[in-house]
Amino acid sequence: MRRISIFGATGSIGQSTIDLIRREKELYDIVALTGGANIAQLAADAIELKAQLAVTAYGDKLPELRAALAGTGIEVAAGAIALAEAANRPADWVMSAIVGAAGLKPGLVALEQGATLALANKESLVTAGPLLMQTAKKHQARILPVDSEHSAVFQALNGEDIKTVKRVILTASGGAFRDWPLEQLAEATAAQAMKHPNWSMGARITIDSASMFNKALEVIEAKEFFDLRSDQIEVLVHPESLVHAFVGFCDGALMAHVGAPDMRHAIGYALNWPHRRPLPVEMLDLASQGQLNFQSPNLQKYPALRLARVVMEQGGLSGTVFNAAKERALDYFIAGQIGFCDMSSVVETVLDDLCATTDLIDVDVTLDNVQHIDLIAREAIDALVVHGDLKLVIRG
Ligand code: NAD
Ligand code: MG
């Protein structure tokens, strides 16, 4: 039996992972399931899958979790330390599907104990790519991509020599505001941004798709995961979301990965790797689809894509600054405190300011340094949004 843990089990990716596991329960031994505030879901899944341990990220939710699992024999725990301890429980395959930089530490611990890490949590790679990749190497652990574009690239690279790769093209749906003119975007609300045309996902990544911050994170994720240069990674808007990525080779060939927009494909590929097994996903009928469209992204409409280039060229911990600033700006947008276009403006201001202080970002990519810079970037966004003055916090 394969020992499996799922971090972020109650979220969109976590639930799709459980959907696959539930169909073949006899193959898996569930070590740990983790979630946040949705205790009813976490407890129900822990009972159904006979998990050894259930962990909520929130200390104040522990009594509720304990009550929900009383008499089941399932261990319970809460908080960030408990999450790291859960990641330290021996497992063969660990799904990293917490949203945000909070997923980094459990992912690192899972790699340290040698587990294969199925990585949906792209923020880990953006905030600390070299640390994650080096940890995997040091402990002879494997990271398998779960983000659909990166799974697509990974699949297109099967049997190929990475040295023959010229470029990688990630596709983007264009999100909820694909057909909105630039002038209207400033008025866009979080509720509007949450209406994704093709994918059903968690709230935060859905809004990030509308701003293309998600694609910006993914470009950096691709650089870190496949060890590419910034100029080798392109983005194409593809409204149908059927081609997930292309890999272009030195002989001019483009290998595309085509499939229904259903995350169970990429999750299932990572679960069954290195084999392919049947998955409960739609088999595409391309004749009825008729056509596939591709356009270059409008960088004025999606400034996040331009910022991703800045981050990749600056290197160091600028990815940490970018991710943390983006996460915090998104909090303020969801709370209705800043507008949709303000997100990229405040992130750019903080990125410019913090990265100009090179001794801040030109440091080793250790967990301590990443967590320190992450906090500074969040505080810088707070200072900018709440006080309108970045210098207040940065310069003390
Ligand atoms: P979601 O919001 O639906 O679920 C997030 C999960 O993380 C939940 O279980 C939640 O309880 C938990 N969580 C939230 N904050 C936490 C914290 N501080 N500490 C510990 N746990 C916390 O998100 P999602 O859409 O499933 O996305 C999960 C990750 O996968 C993200 O990194 C996202 O970018 C990535 N991803 C998602 C999709 C998708 O289709 N949903 C596709 C590609 C990549
Ligand atoms: Mg993606």
Ordered by start, the domain boundaries in the chain are 2-145, 151-289, 315-386
Q: Whose CA is nearest to atom 23 of ligand 1?
A: 202
d(CA 98, ligand 1 centre) in Å: 4
Instruction: Looking at the CA of 118, name the nearest ligand.
Output: 1
Could you read off the pLDDT of 223-253 as tens digits, one per residue? 999 999 999 999 999 999 999 999 999 999 9
What are 259-297's pLDDT values in tens digits? Answer: 999 999 999 999 999 999 999 999 999 999 999 999 999
* Mean pLDDT, rounded, of the chain: 96
- Cβ pair 96, 128 in contact under 8 A: no
d(CA 142, CA 136): 6
CATH class of 2-145: alpha beta
How far apart CA 178 and CA 187 sit, in angstroms, is 15
Q: How confident is the model at residue 391 (pLDDT cuts 50, 70, 90)?
A: low
User: Is 166 strand, coil or helix?
Assistant: strand
Whole-number Å distance, alpha carbon 12 to ligand 1 midpoint, is: 7
Q: What number is the average pLDDT over the span 122-129?
A: 98
Ligand 1 proximity of 120 Cβ (cutoff 6 Å): yes
Label residue 360 by pLDDT band (50, 70, 90). Answer: confident
For the CA of 263, the closest atom of ligand 1 is 40
Rounded CA separation 24/165 (Å): 37
Helix (H, G, I), strand (E, B) or coil at 380: helix
- Residue in the block written with tokens 């790769």: 165
Q: What is the mean pLDDT of residues 344-361?
A: 90
Burial class (CB in 10 A: 0-12, 13-18, 19+), 60: exposed
How confident is the model over 18-69, as pLDDT tens digits?
Answer: 999 999 999 999 999 999 999 999 999 999 999 999 999 999 999 999 999 9
Reference 293, options 253, 236, 248; nearest CA is 236
- Predicted confidence at residue 396, as pLDDT, reads 39
**Alpha-carbon distances, residue 5 vs 19, 99, 116, 139, 367 (angstroms):** 14, 16, 10, 18, 22
Is-same-fold flag (2-145; 315-386)?
no
From the candidate CATH numbers 1.10.1740.10, 3.40.50.2300, 3.10.20.30, 1.10.390.10, the one assigned to the domain spanning 315-386: 1.10.1740.10
Its pTM surpasses 0.95: yes
